[in-house]
Amino acid sequence: MISKIDYIKEYAKELKLLNLQKKIDEFIEHGENEDLSYQEFLYKILNEEIIAKEERKKQTRLKNAGFPVIKTIEEFDFEFQKSISKRHINRLLEMDWIDKIYNLIFLGPPGVGKTHLAIALGYKAIDMGYKVSFISMDNLVYSLKTQDIMRKSKIKINKIHSSDLVIIDEIGYLPINREEANMFFQLISALHEQTSIIITSNKGFGDWNELLGDPALTTAILDRLTYKCELFNMTGKSYRLTHRKSFLED
């Protein structure tokens, strides 16, 4: 004979109340132990359902973002990297710059924390409900070149266009040809004043002409990226080299 609990689980599944389906026995036990009123009992069920649903959405956003690793602001060593203000970064954590469609550009040599900050801001944005896409420059160029013939590339580019924040990492490590630079320009133009962008680069703007191979195209790209933008020039030693770990020394 099917019990009422089994019926509730089936109804919860049909209504996509997945948290209720999973935890109904726990809810009932808690309600009985705490002598909850009908109103309090129903509130607890629905409240936890909303919390669980939001967490599932967050995990989906996190998966779609494509971060290579998870970095947080709490892990960033502001005592080591003194060329950037903790006060400024904390202001960025409020995320109103995304609503106002501002861009962020982090320039500096390898190891100074550019990617760490970009990922940490992206992770916080996801936590606050924004859709984020992370991609390295070489993977972006590859996806742009192959989106018409590869489904995976097309999906990635579509996610970029539908994101609230796009993080393009490591511009400048590999040169690109004129065709690739033109595709990059078209993407930046499509995102301009529609989506916030975070750029990390080991090249100063003066070196972008050589990187992109076309002064006019470089000017057009930088014009769009820097129109509404916060620029951070990061300096100092490489955190990774300074804090290098050795297996043999361990």
In tens digits, what is the pLDDT along the chain, a chain of 250 residues? 678 888 888 878 888 888 878 888 888 888 888 888 889 988 988 899 999 999 999 999 999 999 999 999 999 999 888 889 999 999 999 999 999 999 999 999 988 999 999 999 999 999 999 999 999 999 999 999 999 999 999 999 999 999 999 999 999 888 888 899 999 999 999 999 999 999 999 999 989 988 888 889 999 999 999 999 999 999 877 655 666 666 566 5
Query: Does 60 share its domain with 101?
Result: no
Residue 50 and residue 120 in one domain: no
**Tokens at residue 191, please?**
């995102």
Closest residue by Cα to residue 110 from 244, 238, 243 = 238
* Euclidean distance between CA atoms 5 and 8, whole angstroms: 5
Q: List beta partners, residue 199.
A: 105, 168
| Co-location of 88 and 39 in the same domain | no
| Residue 152, SS3 per DSSP | helix
| DSSP letter, residue 15 | T
Q: Are 42 and 96 part of one and the same domain?
A: no
Question: Which of these three, 64, 90, 114, is where a domain ends?
Answer: 64
Reported as half-sphere exposure (CB side, CA atoms, 13 A), residue 66 has a value of 20
Both 232 and 148 in one domain: the answer is yes
Judge whether 250 lies within some domain.
Answer: no
Q: Are 234 and 118 in contact (CB under 8 A)?
A: no
**Backbone phi, psi, residue 167, to 5°:** -105, 120
**Do 22 and 146 belong to one domain?**
no
Interaxial angle between packed helices 18-34 and 38-65, expressed in degrees from 0 to 180 and rounded to the nearest 10 = 140
Full domain range(s) for residue 156: 73-242
End-of-domain residue from the set 21, 37, 64: 64
If one counts the domains in the chain, the total is 2
Do 115 and 209 fall within a single domain? yes
Report the residue count for the chain.
250
